[in-house]
């Protein structure tokens, strides 16, 4: 079974488990939204809407909200010293069609569970204490160096040397 839906001024032919990008619609990621403007319900006996099919809707899961590719509008009028560069990116919502509903039914399929990331334990789990001890040693070295610098008698700064004088440039004698 397929359906032709209208959203954002465009029409899409969809079947269950289709993933499509449409103009941004309201809905949190992972929720189910219903698209109510169904123009055609296809199958064994297609149903055409006038303009929409009464009681039909399409349920879809919101996968993500993102921005489309950058589009640059550059206009130039030759020999007029006139140019304009303007760009934009469309807001896009990615949907997965879960089911096509007829006769005013509610969606029966809920959002799909997210796959959990498998976190591998670090090699040698018991060795977590060793790096902590190493950082403590490094900290103690820093503090002991600071203490030693504070206890040492203050050294006198070396006297500044006078800048060296540049030799005077010899004047060239002219044979006039």
The pLDDT tens digits of the residues spanning 66-89 come to 999 999 999 999 999 999 999 999
Instruction: Give residue limits of the domains in the chain.
Output: 3-101
Q: For residue 70, give both structure tokens.
A: 């950058």
Q: What is the pLDDT of residue 103?
A: 84
What is the rounded average pLDDT of the residues 99-106?
86
Identify the three-state secondary structure at position 79.
Answer: coil
15's CB contacts (< 8 A; 6+ apart) are 1, 2, 3, 97, 100
Other C-beta atoms lying within 10 Å of the C-beta of residue 62:
19
Q: For residue 139, give both structure tokens.
A: 């900290």
Banded pLDDT at 130 (limits 50, 70, 90): low
Q: What is the pLDDT of residue 139?
A: 55
Q: What is the pLDDT of residue 100?
A: 92
Name the average pLDDT for the chain.
Answer: 81
Banded pLDDT at 4 (limits 50, 70, 90): very high
Contact present, 68 and 89 (Cβ < 8 Å): yes
Banded pLDDT at 125 (limits 50, 70, 90): low
- Percent of the chain at pLDDT > 90 equals 49
Contact present, 57 and 38 (Cβ < 8 Å): yes
Q: What is the pLDDT of residue 152?
A: 63
E strands in 78-172: 82-101
26's CB contacts (< 8 A; 6+ apart) are 33
Banded pLDDT at 37 (limits 50, 70, 90): very high
Helix, strand, coil in percent for the chain, rounding step 5: 15, 40, 45
- Per-residue b or e along 115-146, where b marks 16 or more CB atoms closer than 10 Å to that residue's CB: eeeeeeeeeeeeeeeeeeeeeeeeeeeeeeee
């Amino acid at each position: 079974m397929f359906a032709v839906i209208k959203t954002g001024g465009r029409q899409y032919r969809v079947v269950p488990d289709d993933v499509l990008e449409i103009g941004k619609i309201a809905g949190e990621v992972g929720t189910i939204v219903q698209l109510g403007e169904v123009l055609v319900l296809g199958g064994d006996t297609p149903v055409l809407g006038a303009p929409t099919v009464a009681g039909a809707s399409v349920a879809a899961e919101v996968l993500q909200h993102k921005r489309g590719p950058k589009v640059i509008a550059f206009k130039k009028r030759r020999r007029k010293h006139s140019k304009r560069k303007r760009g934009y990116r469309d807001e896009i919502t990615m949907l997965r069609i879960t089911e096509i509903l007829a006769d005013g039914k509610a969606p029966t399929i809920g959002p799909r569970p997210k796959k959990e990331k498998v976190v591998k334990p670090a090699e040698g789990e018991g060795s977590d204490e060793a790096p902590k001890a190493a950082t403590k040693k490094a900290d103690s070295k820093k503090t002991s160096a600071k203490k030693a610098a504070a206890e040492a008698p203050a050294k006198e700064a070396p006297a500044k040397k006078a800048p060296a004088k540049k030799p005077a440039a010899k004047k060239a004698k002219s044979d006039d």
